[in-house]
Amino acid sequence: MSTDFRKGYDFIGWEGNPEYIDSGRVLNAQYNIHIYPIYFEDYDGTILKTEYVEYGGSASPPADPSREGYAFVGWDGDVDFVEEPYQVFRAQYLPIYDVTFEDHDGTVLETVEVIEGNDAEPSQEPQRTGYTFVGWDPDSSNVQEDMTVVAQYEINQYTITFEDYDGFVMEQITQDYGTAIDPPDDPERTGYDFVGWDPELPGTIPAEDKTLTAQYEIKTYTVEFNLGDHGTHDGGGDLTQTIDHGSNAVEPLVDADEGYEFVGWDSSLNNITEDKLINATYVEDEHKVTFEDWDGTVLKVEAVADGGDATPPPDPERVGYTFTSWDGGNEPLDITGTITYIAKEEEI
């Protein structure tokens, strides 16, 4: 009977004595398992470990070997099931490549080591003001060699809004980042001078949307008060004033000269919208001069400026009498107060 039918084992006999059978029996074959020498070898043939393993058993590899410029990726056989003597497990390696990630301007962002056939990824995406990162060129997947990849970007667009002082939107422009800004014409506002934008108008599109608000300074005007020849300044507002648009001037106090009365100004002091010369106006003091006939009949009433001369009416006539003069205490000259003149006559 052949017993060479169990791989990995040597037949060593039967359980019991097959030469003496005195009844029905089952005789079980007896075996010894093979023990095989196993070798772990580096890429250059260096034996890293020798081990003896029973048939069908698992070999215990040595610590992962290292090789400059390469990554150890395993052993070229199934170390978990040994079935042949003198089996050699050779260390397997794949080359390691350097993948350099550069920014748009050539700046090296990062260099990573990648095992052949794997994908290279940087630790983080690059940032570029005013741009959106869209990927790398060339593709860094399935790396097969040392390589340099460059960051790729798309330029962003931003909106500048120009608003007037009251929130009215005068214009909006949307342009690529960094392009020159052509602002609208300077706005106009009654009574104000345009002085710029807040925040300050940038020369090129910034990396964000912005709203710029028109800034103004109120216009000012010079108001001069001319007192003329018949009055003096008696305190109060200045004779020369700087007034904001639409505001009122402060009236100065005026002391009229003797013989004159200050009666006001020849222009409004309110709602000033231009440079102005405002003149004081006066009237001379006047006195009432009355001319009466002998019987009290009023012949004429005249207003005469202080120190001025009265003009009598025509000489009155009375039957039997001759007019001789006006009786008022003095001649109707150099009038300095209210006075009544009565006709003086002589009987014929």
Q: For residue 1, what pLDDT is reported?
A: 46
Domain that holds residue 236: 220-284
- Residue 223 buriedness (CB in 10 A; 0-12 / 13-18 / 19+): buried
Percent of the chain past pLDDT 90, that is, above it, reads: 68
**Cα 209 from chain centroid (whole Å):** 7
Cβ atoms of residues 136 and 149 within 8 Å:
yes
Angular region, 108: left φ>0, alpha ψ -120 to 50, beta rest: beta
Instruction: Over range 325-330, report the average pLDDT.
Output: 73
Range scoring the smallest mean pLDDT among 2-6, 83-87, 282-286, 295-299: 2-6
Indicate whether 214 pLDDT > 70. Answer: yes
Other beta carbons within 10 Å of 27: 12
DSSP 196-223: EEESPPPSB--SS-EEEEEEEEE-EEEE
Range scoring the smallest mean pLDDT among 25-34, 128-137, 179-188: 25-34
Instruction: Over range 101-106, report the average pLDDT.
Output: 97
* Overall pTM > 0.75: no
In the chain, the amino acid numbered 153 is Y
CATH number at residue 104: 2.60.40.4270
DSSP 238-271: -SEEEEETT--PPPEEEEEPTTEEEEEESS--SS
The CA–CA distances, whole Å, from 344 to 207, 298, 300, 322 equal 105, 14, 15, 9
Choose one of 266, 284, 302: the last residue of a domain: 284
Choose one of 194, 218, 242: the last residue of a domain: 218
Per the structure, the count of domains in the chain is: 5
Tens-digit pLDDT profile for residues 256-278? 998 788 989 999 999 999 999 99
In a domain, 101, yes or no: yes
In a domain, 227, yes or no: yes
